[in-house]
Structure 1
Amino acid sequence: MESVANSVQLPPLDNPNERAAVGGELQVVMQDLIDLSLIGKQLHWSVVGAAAHGVHLFLDEVVGEWRELADVVAERAVTLGVVPDGQSAAVAAGSRVESVAVRSLADHAVVWELGRRVAAVAERIRKRLGSVGAADLVTQDVLVRVVGMLEKHQWMLRAQLGEKA
């Protein structure tokens, strides 16, 4: 990530190393969200079965929300003076979201596979909250919002599988 931290109009952080570290954390989260949205779209095209229509529509909804969250995360990085990289090569190199097979998948399998990935992304972000919050509470708040939305999606996916909340 390129830094534009030479401006006096940046939000204050206690030390310049924290700015780069927080920017790096935001980069990782943004890349995971972008990749999650791409995987969601792949599954959107791959779903078959009795509930395919409903899953298809649900995937459109959550993919849009993940793209919006990625934008919020990227804009927080820019606000801190760090330019994020959301290009395909950077996302492919940096994302830790497990890819999916390119084939038709039954509706319940799509929901299960996506649920596992959403849970993994949410868990990785949760693990970052303490260190990010120690450096910048506003960024921590952004990440709390992201985790909250991902956990809501986990609940909605569990509900489609008939699992109890």
Structure 2
Amino acid sequence: MTVAGGIAFVTLSAAQDTGRTPATDTAGTEQTVPSRQITIWRDPSCGCCDAYAEYLEGNGYRVMRIDDPNFDRRSVEAGVPEQGLGCHLAKIDGYYVSGLVPAEIIERLMTEKPDITGITLPGMPANAPGMAPAKTGTLKTYAFGEDGVTVYADE
């Protein structure tokens, strides 16, 4: 059992083989370039979501913001564990990203293309992008999907 920010998760082995390859190579077609377009559903009164969107834009992403006071319900419907909700929900290249996940972790997700539904950084950690001018210290990000919840990054 892992505890992060007061939230307990039962984790599966991070070394679990999902059988999915990082990139699908189809004969006669170009390899897909990861998207730089990300959509964020957020509570319209959340200032950290705007700061986070600006952080992503500063890291080369094109961000579409959608006001959604029920983003938490949308998050659970997308598969984010209730006890692991972040302060907004985003989607990029078919993956859900919940919370203030650092850009380098999103980059890793887009490069590795694991067989998961998405990743989440639960809560609103004070040292996360959007809450602080820059990420400081370590942040524990979780992967979620059909196989349950695992630690995706602890950096």
Normalising by the smaller structure, the TM-score range is under 0.3
Point out the structure with max Rg over C-alpha. 1
Point out the structure with the larger strand share: 2
TM-score, scaled relative to structure 2: 0.28
Structure richer in helix, relative to its length: 1
